[in-house]
Chains A and B, each alone.
Chain A
Amino acid sequence: MKFEKKQAVWAYIFLLPSLIGIAIFYVIPYLMCIYNSFMGTGGFAGFDNYIAIFKNRAFLYALRNTMIFTLIAIPSLMIISFLIAKFMNSFKKISAFFRSAYLMPIVIPAASLIYIWQLLFDDQGTINGILNFFGIDNIHFFSSGFSMVMIILIYIWKNCGFCVILFTAGLANLPNSVHESAHLEGAGGFTTTVKITLPLITPTTFFVFLMALINSFRMFRESFSLFGTYPNENVYFLQNFINNNYNNFNYSQLSSSAIVMSLIFIGIMLAFFMYERKADYME
């Protein structure tokens, strides 16, 4: 009994710096934000700000685009990196060079690559040049629905390497016997993957998901450098909305949309968390 108490005290000692810092730099601003989301110019406004933003078409655009991005980009990133990881693991020996190559994009800061993307995706850019060669019409990556495709592609390119590394590590840790026994029972490659491999690497998947989610906010940096403060309506994200409301001095609208945005992400994470728990119990 005494030992456990001592351990708890020590745990709090180790945790203390972090707890203080988190409280000051994250919890307090978040609470301030929540408080402000209920305040209007004339004092307490209840849910008025929330009702107002859900009537605001710009906000709905932003919400739609953010949801589309999150729901398409994150799963695609996870699937693609899982497939690449499986592919890499199928080699018996592989040079460290290849693994390093995959990590390269995350090491390079967003700002340095903007011009490369412009060269690639511009109306007169390389991709359109290639398409033209095959007789396909220009794609306006900077001013049509393809802007979203472009952002998703860049997001996957940037974060794929890191997720691949995480997945290869997770897969490598699986005992070989698992696959062999499944194979003996006559299960095909696909069934094995879905029924056996995936549940076994759930902790890894969860971590990959977390990374993908965090990094999806960072895509705003790219979007901002590529499209500016007022992008076309297809890549107008919640971050744009919040940022522009800052420039427009609309603090209550800013706060309430920030809260809505955080609630959405908390919801997504909570759902995934439940999934992980469930998988844990199944184990």
Chain B
Amino acid sequence: MKSKSKVKKYLRYSLLIVLTLIFLLPVFFMVISSFMSTKEVSEMLNFNTGEFTSFKLIPGDFSLEQYYRVFFRNPQYLKEFWNSVLITFPTVICQLIVSSLAAFAFGKLKFPGRDKIFFVYMILLILPIQVTLVPSYFMYQKIDLLNNVMSIILPGTFSAFGICLLRQNVRYISDASIEAARVDGASYFKIFFRIILPQIRGGLISLALLTFVDTWGVIEQPLIYFTDRSKYPLSVSLSAGSADTQIIFACGVMFMIPALLIYFLGEKDLRSSFTRI
């Protein structure tokens, strides 16, 4: 009886590890490949050898060649990285501000038409980007936003996604504390800053992370809205076809580092926020 439960325990743990490996391996492999020499990478990505490709978990010859090329030989990638930063960071910040304000209104305040407006938001949230891409183009042309990073930052800022996410968080805050503050004569702004914001910190961080990832990987909009190739973010040149295969993995690692940083910095808060949903 005891041995049976022990077997069961081992089985459960090995299943856990297998599952984890499935999620981790591709990522792990990308990091590994970034330390291969460019020659090894092109050999690996050659599908014409007649043999089946395999994943090398240890680079044949460890080298920093890819990183060297990204950082010193092709400054274009660094420039694009910077372009990505210019698009992403403002989007994240503005989205946090706009969404938390609106989420407070939707989550805790009563006003006529609240549910109807929220439903419209949800519908707008699930609109595929292709629906608004072309009309937006005409509009940006009229208000002179083409070829301007604002054409990506502004729609990102006002995406309804953050409102949906934060509203869930706001709703879990107890009404009593708000009520008490109001009885004390605190203004709504004070309530927002003193009570709401500290309690949805986890939600804010997860929103920051998700918005970051989304904007960081933007492809369609810059291709259509930007006239000037030098303004393209890194994600555009990393999308297959246009990228230099020899340094693709180093670029990929460079590309995911900012997202990982945010993730690790806010990891604790992040998990606590999800317990609220």
Contact B277 A170 (CB under 8 A): yes
| Docked pose: A266 CA to B119 CA in angstroms | 10
* Interface segment out of the listed A45-53, A119-127, A144-152, A185-193: A119-127
Q: Given A84-B19, A160-B23, does the pair A166, B274 have CB atoms closer than 8 Å? A: yes
Q: Which residues of A contact B238 (CB under 8 A)?
A: 109, 111-112
Q: Which residues of B contact A165 (CB under 8 A)?
A: 271, 274
B253-277 at interface with A (beta carbon < 8 Å): 253, 255-256, 259-260, 263, 267, 271, 274-277
Q: How many A-B residue pairs have CB under 8 A?
A: 275
Q: Does more than half of chain B's interface fall in helix, strand or loop, or is it mixed?
A: helix
Q: Which residues of A contact B7 (CB under 8 A)?
A: none
B129-150 at interface with A (beta carbon < 8 Å): 129-136, 138-139
Task: State the Cβ distance, A90 to closest chain B Cβ, in Å.
Answer: 8
B252 at the interface (CB under 8 A from A): yes
Contact A11 B52 (CB under 8 A): no
Contact B105 A221 (CB under 8 A): no
Q: How many residues of A contact B (CB 8 A)?
A: 100
B157 at the interface (CB under 8 A from A): yes
Task: State the Cβ distance, B210 to closest chain A Cβ, in Å.
Answer: 8
Return the chain B residue nearest A12 by Cβ: B111
Task: State the Cβ distance, A230 to closest chain B Cβ, in Å.
Answer: 13
Contact A246 B134 (CB under 8 A): yes
Q: Given A30-B132, A109-B235, A214-B126, does the pair A22, B160 have CB atoms closer than 8 Å? A: yes
B5 at the interface (CB under 8 A from A): no
Q: Which residues of A contact B61 (CB under 8 A)?
A: none
B232-258 at interface with A (beta carbon < 8 Å): 235, 238-241, 243, 245, 248-249, 251-253, 255-256
Contact B256 A112 (CB under 8 A): yes
Contact A8 B45 (CB under 8 A): no
A265 at the interface (CB under 8 A from B): yes
B82 at the interface (CB under 8 A from A): no
A194 at the interface (CB under 8 A from B): no
Task: State the Cβ distance, A72 to closest chain B Cβ, in Å.
Answer: 18
